[in-house]
């Protein structure tokens, strides 16, 4: 059975931040369909500059990607994105120490390969269940993994926004590439998002919106609206993909 998809990509500044430093991408490349969410950081316009550079570098890489296995391609693409951001940061004082989180997925031959840096996430929604497939590179996630903090406590921890990895902060990035792809099936949904969504809504609240019978564009918009209704403390970015 051939599997096709419908996708929606949205980015919203939220209700508090003066600028939107998030960027999203949904594009077709010679190696497959590429989806990305980047959450920039660095103050003033540096964060959005870093996110834009990451998107551009990854899309450019996949337009001329060599013959390599998809996980290796994702790794090489993130290396190039890191180099582009780091180089600009070293050349121009206003961009010093800028960086961005990144989660990206490559859809090819019925499989989804994915990788991430930072706390932007990828979820799989299947048969009413929402499963987080990436693990945040954050301070609170480190504490959780060490048994020093519970997920419930992490929601209110004063350092819950501190991330441990990002693109552009050093010359040696540490991307995490999933070793195995997701075998998607009709009815599955893929959600890529920045912490402006995952930090405002619980997994149960996200799943309840995805369960609603509506077009993928409508459900993506409802996710953003719900995050804003919950406070909208950060920029909110969503790429939602439905496989049919």
Q: Tell me, what's the pLDDT at 43?
A: 67
Q: Does residue 39 contact residue 118 with C-beta atoms inside 8 Å?
A: yes
Confidence check: pLDDT of 24 > 80? yes
Neighbours of 222 (CB within 10 A): 17
Confidence check: pLDDT of 85 > 60? yes
Exposed e or buried b per residue across 173-183, where buried means at least 16 C-beta atoms within 10 angstroms of its C-beta: bebbbbeebbe
Give the pLDDT mean for 111-116.
Answer: 98
Q: How far apart are CA 176 and CA 178, in angstroms?
A: 7
Q: How far apart are CA 96 and CA 75, in angstroms?
A: 24
Q: Tell me, what's the pLDDT at 1?
A: 54
Tens of pLDDT, residue by residue over 47-76, are 999 999 999 999 999 999 888 999 999 999
Tens of pLDDT, residue by residue over 153-211, are 666 666 667 788 999 999 988 899 999 999 999 999 999 999 999 999 999 999 999 99
Q: How far apart are CA 91 and CA 107, in angstroms?
A: 35
Q: How far apart are CA 74 and CA 96, in angstroms?
A: 26
Q: Can you list the domains of the chain with their CATH numbers?
A: 5-243 (3.60.40.10)
Q: What is the mean pLDDT of the chain?
A: 92
Q: How far apart are CA 117 and CA 136, in angstroms?
A: 8
Give the pLDDT mean for 18-26.
Answer: 95
Q: Tell me, what's the pLDDT at 44?
A: 60
Cα–Cα distances (Å) from 215 to 5, 8, 26, 124, 243, in that order, read 12, 10, 17, 17, 12
10 Å CB burial of residue 150 (0-12, 13-18, 19+) is exposed
Q: Does residue 133 contact residue 203 with C-beta atoms inside 8 Å?
A: no
Question: What is the pTM assigned to this prediction?
Answer: 0.93
């Amino acid at each position: 059975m051939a599997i096709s998809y419908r996708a929606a990509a949205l980015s919203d500044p939220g209700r508090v931040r003066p600028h939107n430093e998030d960027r999203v991408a949904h594009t077709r490349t010679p190696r497959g369909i590429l989806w990305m969410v980047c959450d920039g950081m660095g103050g003033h316009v540096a964060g959005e500059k870093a996110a834009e550079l990451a998107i551009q570098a990854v899309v450019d890489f996949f337009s001329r990607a060599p013959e390599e296995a998809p996980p290796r391609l994702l790794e090489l693409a993130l290396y190039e994105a890191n180099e582009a951001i780091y180089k600009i940061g070293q050349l121009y004082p206003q961009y010093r120490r800028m960086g961005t989180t990144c989660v990206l997925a490559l859809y090819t031959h019925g499989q989804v390969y994915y990788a991430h840096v930072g706390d932007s996430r990828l979820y799989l929604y299947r048969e009413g269940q929402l499963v987080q497939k990436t693990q945040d590179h954050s301070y609170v996630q480190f504490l959780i993994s060490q048994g020093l903090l519970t997920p419930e406590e992490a929601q209110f921890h004063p350092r819950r926004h501190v991330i441990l990895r990002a693109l552009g902060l050093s010359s040696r990035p540490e991307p995490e590439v999933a070793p195995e792809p997701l075998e998607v099936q009709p009815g599955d949904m893929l959600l890529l998002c920045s912490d402006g969504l995952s930090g405002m809504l619980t997994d149960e609240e996200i799943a309840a919106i995805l369960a609603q019978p509506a077009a993928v564009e409508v459900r993506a918009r409802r996710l953003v609206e719900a995050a804003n209704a919950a406070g909208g403390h950060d920029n909110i970015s969503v790429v939602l993909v439905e496989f049919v």
